[in-house]
C-alpha cells in the first residue's frame, strides 16, 4: 500500500505526538507500582501523585467543585464520594495512543462513549480537518538536493528504506529525519478510521459535540521540527544501528498503555538508552519541544475549558504524566484528579 504525500503527513501528525523519543530505552522502567502501592524506596520517601495514577481516563473537577462539601451537605444525596456535587459539570481527560486499534489497546469503547455522553465539547490536540497546503511542506521536507541520504549516509538510508518498504523511495529521500523517525516509531502504520483518535472524533460527531483544539497545525508542525535537521540526523543514524529495537519498543509502549502505566512509559523516554553523549542533548531538546513546551502552551486554554465543565479532552497519553504533565499541573492548580477504571 503506497503512501502519497498528504496522507503520509496526516499519519505522522497523528502518530508522533505521544512517542517521538520512545524506542531503545531500558525495559527496567516497566516495574512501576500499582495504583495506591508504594515503590521500593525509603519508607518515608514521598510518592509523587502522578506516579500513583494507573489509568488513561480521568475525571477532572475544577477547584470550586473539588472543594469538600460543607457539613450541612454531608448527608445530601447530591454529594458524591469525592465531595463533588451531582450538579457539577463533569470533565474527562483521556490519554490516547496514536497507533493500534481498540482491541489491541484493550480500550472499552462503551466506557469511553458513556463518558462522552456526559460532556458536550471534545477537546483534542489539533483539527484533523485542517487543509494541508504547500507552505506546510517546509516542516517535513528537506530543501537540500542531497536529501536524507546526504544527511545520514547511503548505508543508513538503505536500512531506513528496508524498514519502511511502503514509503516510496523518492519521498523517503526528501523527508526530514524527524519525519522518518515518526514512521519508524509507529510501526510504519498510517492513519485510518480505525485509530483511537479517529474513533473518538467519530463518536463526538455522532453525539453532536462541539470541537475545540489546543493548537494549530502549524504550531504542531513547528514543535515536530524544532531541532535542526543536521542534529536530528545524528539521532536517526544512531537509532538505525539497532533497527530490531523499533519493534521491541513499540511492543513495550503497548504494554505500558494496556497496563495503564504512563509513569513507566515516561521513565523509558527519559532513559534514552542507546544514544551517546552527542545525541542525548539533541533528544532532550526534541522531547522538551514535543511534550513540556506544548503542555505549557496548552494549559491556559485547557484550564479555561475545564473550569467551564462538560469537556472531554483527548490528547496523547504521554502528555498526561510526569511532574510537568497536564494532570499534575492541573492538580497543583486545585483541580481534583480521579483515575477512572478502564
Report the pLDDT value the prediction gives residue 26, as an integer from 0 to 100.
Answer: 32
pLDDT digits (tens, 9 = 90+) for 120-146: 999 999 998 888 899 999 999 999 999
CA dist list (Å): 244 to 96, 100, 232: 25, 19, 20
Q: Mean per-residue pLDDT for 190-214? A: 88
What pTM does this model have? 0.81
Apex 330 CA angle, 47 and 249, nearest 5: 65
Report the pLDDT value the prediction gives residue 14, as an integer from 0 to 100.
Answer: 44
Percentage of the chain modeled with pLDDT above 70: 78
Whether the CA torsion 177, 179, 184, 186 is positive or negative: it is positive
Percentage of the chain modeled with pLDDT above 90: 62
CB count within 10 Å of CB 131 equals: 8
Q: How confident is the model at residue 76 (pLDDT cuts 50, 70, 90)?
A: very low
**Dist CA 224 CA 228 (whole Å):** 11
Report the pLDDT value the prediction gives residue 148, as an integer from 0 to 100.
Answer: 98
Q: Which three cell numbers stand for residue 220?
A: 504542531
CA dist list (Å): 220 to 45, 124, 171, 248: 38, 12, 21, 27
pLDDT digits (tens, 9 = 90+) for 4-40: 333 344 444 444 333 333 333 333 333 333 333 334 4
pLDDT digits (tens, 9 = 90+) for 252-274: 889 999 999 999 999 988 888 77
pLDDT digits (tens, 9 = 90+) for 34-50: 333 334 444 566 888 89
Amino acid at each position: 500500500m503506497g503512501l502519497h504525500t498528504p496522507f503520509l503527513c496526516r499519519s505522522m501528525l497523528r502518530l508522533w505526538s505521544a512517542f517521538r523519543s520512545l524506542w531503545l530505552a531500558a525495559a527496567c522502567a516497566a516495574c512501576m507500582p500499582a495504583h495506591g502501592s508504594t515503590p521500593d524506596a525509603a519508607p518515608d520517601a514521598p510518592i509523587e501523585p502522578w506516579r500513583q495514577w494507573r489509568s488513561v481516563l480521568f475525571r477532572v473537577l475544577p477547584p470550586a467543585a473539588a472543594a469538600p462539601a460543607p457539613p450541612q451537605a454531608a448527608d445530601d444525596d447530591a454529594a458524591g464520594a469525592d465531595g463533588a456535587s451531582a450538579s457539577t459539570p463533569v470533565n474527562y481527560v483521556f490519554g490516547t495512543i496514536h497507533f493500534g486499534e481498540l482491541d489491541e489497546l484493550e480500550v472499552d469503547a462503551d466506557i469511553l462513549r458513556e463518558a462522552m455522553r456526559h460532556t458536550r465539547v471534545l477537546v483534542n490536540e489539533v483539527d484533523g480537518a485542517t487543509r494541508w497546503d504547500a507552505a506546510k511542506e517546509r516542516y517535513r521536507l528537506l530543501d537540500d538536493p542531497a536529501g536524507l541520504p546526504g544527511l545520514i549516509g547511503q548505508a543508513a538510508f538503505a536500512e531506513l528504506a528496508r524498514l519502511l518498504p511502503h514509503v516510496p523511495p523518492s519521498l523517503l529521500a526528501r523527508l526530514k529525519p524527524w519525519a522518518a523517525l515518526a514512521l519508524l516509531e509507529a510501526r510504519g502504520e498510517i492513519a485510518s478510521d480505525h485509530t483511537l483518535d479517529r474513533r473518538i472524533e467519530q463518536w463526538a460527531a455522532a453525539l453532536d459535540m462541539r470541537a475545540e483544539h489546543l493548537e494549530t497545525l502549524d504550531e504542531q508542525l513547528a514543535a515536530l521540527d524544532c531541532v535542526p535537521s543536521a542534529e536530528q540526523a545524528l539521532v536517526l543514524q544512531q537509532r538505525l544501528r539497532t533497527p530490531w529495537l523499533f519493534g521491541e519498543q513499540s511492543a513495550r509502549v503497548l504494554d505500558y498503555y494496556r497496563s495503564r502505566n504512563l509513569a513507566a512509559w515516561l521513565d523509558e523516554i527519559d532513559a534514552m538508552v542507546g544514544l551517546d553523549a552527542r545525541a542525548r542533548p539533541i533528544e532532550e531538546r526534541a522531547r522538551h519541544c514535543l511534550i513540556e513546551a506544548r503542555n505549557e502552551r496548552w494549559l491556559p486554554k485547557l484550564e479555561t475549558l475545564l473550569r467551564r465543565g462538560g469537556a472531554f479532552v483527548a490528547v496523547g497519553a504521554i502528555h498526561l504524566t510526569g511532574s510537568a504533565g497536564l494532570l499534575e499541573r492541573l492538580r497543583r492548580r486545585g483541580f481534583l484528579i480521579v483515575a477512572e477504571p478502564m
